[in-house]
Amino acid sequence: MTPEQAALVQQSFANVAPISDQAAMMFYDRLFEIAPSVKAMFPSDMTEQRKKLMATLAVVVNGLSKLDSVLPAASALAKRHVSYGAKPEHYPVVGSALLWTLEKGLGAGWTPDIADAWGAAYATLSGFMISEAYGQAQAAE
Ligand code: HEM
């Protein structure tokens, strides 16, 4: 992920902020549609979960331009996810639901450069989280 890509992710995420809760709803609807088996891992009332997801994404996105600053929090987040039942193979599915949501939420603002930038940012973050939580070998798979 280049500094330009980090900036693109930050700028485009700012456009999602006004529809934050709606975006989170779309994200979980999409996630449960493409991966029905993960639904049971989440609480039935998703109100708080939606807020936590968007707040954490905001922190991570803001930290992309200074990656070292968010890595400790991302590592802790990844390790908590082991106890939620998250597996390495869930990360690409979550990434796909996230990019789908951004594409829908940003509409015409979703350009190929922005898609590439989000793809690179998610690959960096999820690769790091998987290696922190499950070890290097899993991350390379
Ligand atoms: C970069 C990727 C991800 C981010 C930013 C993220 C973010 C979050 C946040 C902020 C929470 C709230 C609790 C906490 O902070 O510990 C959470 C909970 C949770 N996440 Fe994720 N998550 C990610 C990936 C995943 C994946 C791959 C799964 C696998 C299905 C998953 C499943 C869950 C579940 C089951 C909970 C807990 C619900 C509960 O019991 O309260 N997440 N996630």
Euclidean distance between CA atoms 25 and 8, whole angstroms: 23
Given a contact cutoff of 8 angstroms between Cβ atoms, the answer to whether 16 and 105 are in contact is yes
Tokens of 87: 């597996």
Q: Taking 80 as the threshold, does the pLDDT of residue 86 lie above it?
A: yes
Tokens of 124: 């960096």
Residue to probe by mutation, ligand 1, list 38, 70, 84, 129, most atoms within 8 Å of CB: 84
d(CA 85, ligand 1 centre) in Å: 10
Q: Which residue has the tokens 């980090």?
A: 6
DSSP 57-102: HHHHHHHGGGGGGTHHHHHHHHHHHHHTT--TTHHHHHHHHHHHHH
| Residue nearest atom 20 in ligand 1 by C-alpha distance | 81
Atom of ligand 1 nearest to the CA of 90: 27
| Residue nearest atom 1 in ligand 1 by C-alpha distance | 126
Give burial (CB, 10 Å; 0-12/13-18/19+) of 126: buried
| Residue nearest atom 13 in ligand 1 by C-alpha distance | 52
pLDDT score recorded for residue 139: 57
Give burial (CB, 10 Å; 0-12/13-18/19+) of 44: exposed
Pocket of ligand 1 (CB under 6 A): 38, 41-43, 49, 52-53, 56-57, 77, 80-81, 84, 86, 90-91, 94, 125-126, 129
Given a contact cutoff of 8 angstroms between Cβ atoms, the answer to whether 139 and 87 are in contact is no
Atom of ligand 1 nearest to the CA of 93: 27
pLDDT in tens, 111-120: 999 999 999 9
Q: Taking 70 as the threshold, does the pLDDT of residue 90 lie above it?
A: yes
C-alpha triplet 117, 121, 127: angle, nearest 5°: 145
pLDDT in tens, 6-40: 999 999 999 999 999 999 999 999 999 999 999 99
Mean pLDDT of the 77-101 span:
97
pLDDT in tens, 54-85: 999 999 999 999 999 999 999 999 999 999 99
